[in-house]
Amino acid sequence: MKVLILCTANSCRSIIAEALVKAYLGYQVKSAGSKPRYEVNPLAKKVLEEEGIWSEEFYSKSLEDVLDEDFDVVVTVCDNAKEECPLFPKRTKVLHIPFEDPDKKGFDAFIRIKEEMKRRLLPSLAVIGQKPLF
């Protein structure tokens, strides 16, 4: 299954989600932003390093960088991305699973978002892909 995770800046939430989906579900996954910051928030990187799933392949990119690709599922993780989400072919399932933005907050906020994604995002995608979780 091929998944696209969308948010606004593609520096925190979508990067964390991309790493979690890849590590725990093994899906092909990319993330992108409607207004990308083109840098990964250092605390997002740190939370993924502590989880043991950080990779240099995770980087901030624009939605335009991935629009030519086919995805089975597109997940918006913030309300802005939902509003700006382009139309995808009918066969592409689009989900909106919003998460609080941890940017400009302490490391504890990043840990909370990571754990919330493990509880809410991963099970939703596991069901769609008919894949056992953990």
From residue 41, give the alpha-carbon distance in Å to each of 27, 102, 118: 23, 10, 19
Q: What 3-state class would DSSP assign to 96? A: strand
Indicate the pLDDT class of residue 134, thresholds 50, 70 and 90. Answer: low
Annotated catalytic residue 12: no
Looking at residues 33-61, what average pLDDT do you find?
Answer: 96
Provide mean pLDDT across the span 90-98: 87
Residue 72: count other Cβ atoms within 10 Å of its Cβ.
16
Mean pLDDT across the chain, nearest whole number?
Answer: 91
Domains of the chain (ranges, CATH numbers): 2-128 (3.40.50.2300)
Confidence of residue 105 (pLDDT cuts 50, 70, 90): very high
Active-site residue among 85, 94, 95, 97? 85
- Looking at residue 86, what is its pLDDT? 61
Report residue 47's pLDDT band, with 50, 70 and 90 as the boundaries: very high
Q: Active-site residue among 4, 7, 12, 40?
A: 7
